[in-house]
Every structure is written in C-alpha cells, then in structure tokens.
Amino acid sequence: MTARFALKAATDDIHRELDERLSRLDLATEDDYRRFLDFHARTVPAVEASLASGGLGEMVKCWCAARRSGAIAEDLAALGDPMPKPTDAPALAGVGDLLGAAYVLEGSRLGGRVLERRVAPGLPKAFLKGDGSLGPWPALIAVMERLLYSDSLLGEAKSAARRCFTLFLTVAHEAGI
C-alpha cells in the first residue's frame, strides 16, 4: 500500500466525522459560509505556521507559495470580518509529523474545489478556489512516497494526521459545528 493510501486508511474514521460536521453548514447562506471561513481561519493558519516552522517548505519546494492563510483573510475581509485568533497547533518535528499533517491540510485543498460550487454567487471564494490547480498535492504525494519508507516513519505520519484531524474536530466542536 502506498503511503498516501495508508494515511487515508488510518484517518478514514476521523476524516469522515469532520466531513459530517462541516456538511451541516449550508455554504449557500452567508451566515454558514462565514462560520465555515471562521473555522478555517482558526485552523489552517495555525497548521500552516507549524508546518513552516518544522521545515515542510524545504521538503516540498512549492508548498510555501501555496499557503492559504492569505486567501482566508481576503475572503473574511470581503465579508467585513477580521481574521480570528488561530488556535494553538501542536509543534511538528520530523519527517513523519510534517508529512502526516501536510497530508491533512493539503487534502482539504482538494475538497475545497468541490465545496466551492456550493457557495452562493457573490460570496468571496479565494480560499476555496485558489489558483485552480492541485497546488502542492502532487509534489507532496511524491515526497511522501519517497520519505515515508519505514513502518516507523509511516506510523509517525499516521499519528500526526490523526492529531491534525483531531485539532480540526476540536475547533469545529468549539464553534458549534
């Protein structure tokens, strides 16, 4: 099994739980879309900062240029809302930690492409729309397959991915989602 699919299998339950919570939001309404953006504004910048501090940009060269915190701030500003304080993300150190958390964060970019179609016309969509590409996903997958070569490293990545999903679920719960 590839590293990507091993991470998918190891996080399927918690990923499904997060998706179920977020699917309760009707992105065609401005109020729910604001809640959706606020949730991501509390989580994405925090995880991005931990990944940057841990050195993900050195492993996945195109990752730094594809960070999405600015797009969230842009969408919130267009709605007249400030960026909320990000949650505290755990420190990420080592190859397994970084790649496991990046798998979760960058996987959410792919889901954003689907969700963008559910957002009402006229609402800002920079966060979900991005540049229309897969972003760093293909490069991340290639790095994962190359660097998660042992059971130990893959185990670290699985643990980090689950911790990242747990962080997202915690914030969703706090936000009443």
> Which CATH number do you get for residue 160?
1.20.910.10
Domain that holds residue 68: 3-174
SS3 176: coil
Whole-prediction pTM value?
A: 0.94
Residue 85 has, within 13 A of its CA and on its CB side, a CA count of 2
pLDDT per residue, tens digit, the chain (177 aa), is 899 999 999 999 999 999 999 999 999 999 999 999 999 999 999 999 999 999 999 999 888 888 999 999 999 999 999 999 999 988 898 999 999 999 999 998 888 878 999 999 999 999 998 776 778 999 999 999 999 999 999 999 999 999 999 999 999 999 999
Q: Report residue 163 as tokens.
A: 């911790």
Q: Is 94 left (phi over 0), alpha (psi -120 to 50) or beta?
A: left
Please count the structural domains in the chain.
Answer: 1
- Identify the burial level of 165 via C-beta atoms within 10 angstroms of its C-beta, where 0-12 means exposed, 13-18 middle and 19 or more buried: buried
Question: Residue type for 171, please?
Answer: V
Identify the burial level of 58 via C-beta atoms within 10 angstroms of its C-beta, where 0-12 means exposed, 13-18 middle and 19 or more buried: exposed
d(CA 96, CA 147): 8
Asked if 49 contacts 43 with a C-beta cutoff of 8 angstroms, the reply is no
> What is residue 55's predicted lDDT score, i.e. its pLDDT?
94
The one-letter amino acid at 45: P
